Structures are given as structure tokens and as C-alpha cells.
Amino acid sequence: MMKKLPQQDDETGEIPPVVVPVKLRELCFDGTELDRLDFLAEEVPVALVYNGISHAVMMASPADLEDFARGFSLSEGIVEQAAEIRDVEILAHEKGIELKIDLAPESFWRLKERRRTIAGRTGCGLCGLDSLEAVARDLPKVGGGMKIGLAAIEKALSALPPAQVYNAQAHALHAAAYADAQGDLLLVREDVGRHNALDKLAGAIAVARIDPASGFCLITSRCSVEMVQKAVIAGFPMLVSVSAPTRMAAKVAEEAGITLLALARADSALCLTHPHRIAL
């Protein structure tokens, strides 16, 4: 359960809004100038602290932070299941936000095994890895998964832009969403970092006790290898990206058994791996 924010000794002690209004001057190419009110996405340092040990600092949007703590812990292999996290406390400081994560004793050794120091840029998925071997992660094989019809994929893609409430204001946030086999969106998470958005989605699914194999995942960002790795660890049998994948992302998707669709549009999508889950 998320705890309420206590009173802080610093200047703020409050979580900032995800988007903030700002006054801007629009410079038109015909030489005219207009004063206007617009919105910018907030981006704050978020420190993940496990049992008192600072593990990572990521630049992220200040929303759905408990989901982020759980999803990051799962995707980074610090915990194997969400139940190993006993509590998440969110503390707002003047310089950023601290997520104090209480791990069960039996899972604390994973933190010592995988501990690293990350100064994470926005959504930087591989920052802090100390060897080439660490990039090539041992991933579980994705099995099962329902057959998903093209109409369901089209339905979910059409529903995603209106569901991006923060991006509609600031135009600077990525989204990761989960849809059921009928194409209905069940969960949507947004963040300035594409990896953060997917971590938040994985955390939300774990808390909601939704079987990830009963639907599919959609992302609005480019599909790099880290996004495929996180999707596989989260248990999604299918990943649909509106942008193009990298060659390594497609290779990892093929090896892990996940169905990868890319350049998904209202009228088409490219299927790169494991098309057996697509019901034509």
C-alpha cells in the first residue's frame, strides 16, 4: 500500500504535477509574434532505494511511481514477483523524489548481486551496465498467449492516442498500454522515458493481478532491444510498436518467442517474429 507523503524538511515536500503551464512566445515565419500559454512535461530525478541502499536514479515523470518501483524491480531482476516487495514509500525532496522500497529478506541477495550505480538519462535502459555480457540477458522463453485478431489490434491502436492524457497536453511523453484479446485497453501508463512507461505498466499489471498472456502490449516509442527484454520479462506474448524496431530487438524477440509487430498504423503493421499468434 502506498503511504501518504509525510511533511518534509526541504522546501517543497510535494510531488510536482506531470505537466505544468508555461507562457511562451510563438515566432511565426511570416514575422509575427504571438504570446501563448502552453504545457511542458515535468522531468524529475527519481531515486530507487532498496532497504536503505541507493541503487539507481532515473529521470522520470512524477506519476504512477509505485507502479514504476515495482515494474523496475521486476524488469531489472531484483525481484522475481511483486510480492517480494513489502512496501513502497514515496518521499518528495527539493531535488527530486525518493522511492524507498522494502524488500523481503529472501530477495535482498539479488540486490547485492545486481547492484550497480546508474545516473539514468531520460529512459536510458542500459546505463550503468559494466560489461558486454550484462547486455545479453538470459531471458525466459515466451510461451502460450491467445490468438489476437487484426481487428483487436486496430481497435487498441485507435484507442491509445485519446488515452494519453498527459501527452495530449505536453506532446513529450511516451505511453505503454495493455489490451485484452478483444482490443480493449485495460491499463495505460505514460512517462517522458519510454523504458519508464513500460516499467510502470508492468508494475500496474502485477498489482492488478492481470495475466499478461491474456492480451498484448502496445508502445508508442521506438522498439529497441531493452523494450523487447522488458516485455519478455513482464510476460507479454505480443508487443506492438508504432515505430520501427532495431535489428537486435527483432533478433531477441525471435529467440525469446515473443510476437513482435512494428510500424503499427491504423491500416497495417509489420509482423517480424512469431506470426502464429495473429488470427488473420
pLDDT tens track for 12-29 = 579 999 999 999 999 999
Q: With 70 as the cut, is the pLDDT of residue 197 above it?
A: yes
Q: With 70 as the cut, is the pLDDT of residue 7 above it?
A: no
Residue 127 annotated in active site: no
pLDDT at 253: 97
Task: State in Å, rounded, how far the first CA of the chain is from the last one.
Answer: 42
User: What's the mean per-residue pLDDT of the chain?
Assistant: 89
* Segment 40-51 mean pLDDT: 96
Which of the four pLDDT bands, split at 50, 70 and 90, describes residue 9?
Answer: very low
Domain boundaries, the chain: 148-279
Residue 154, C-alpha cell as written in the block: 486496430
- List the alpha helices (DSSP H) in 107-211: 108-114, 132-135, 150-163, 165-170, 194-208
E-strand stretches of the chain: 19-27, 33-41, 44-50, 53-60, 85-93, 96-103, 118-120, 148-149, 174-180, 185-191, 215-219, 238-241, 259-262, 270-273, 278-279
How far is CA 197 from each of CA 25, 45, 173, 204, rounded to the nearest angstrom?
A: 31, 15, 9, 11
Q: With 70 as the cut, is the pLDDT of residue 110 above it?
A: no
Among the options 124, 127, 217, 223, which is catalytic? 124
For 118-128, write each residue's pLDDT tens digit.
Answer: 444 455 555 54
* Segment 199-206 mean pLDDT: 98
Fold of the CATH domain 148-279: Cytidine Deaminase; domain 2 (3.40.140)
* Segment 85-93 mean pLDDT: 96
Torsion from C-alpha of 58, 64, 66, 70, nearest 10 degrees: -70
Q: With contact defined as beta carbons under 8 Å apart, do 189 and 64 qualify?
A: yes
pLDDT at 280: 83
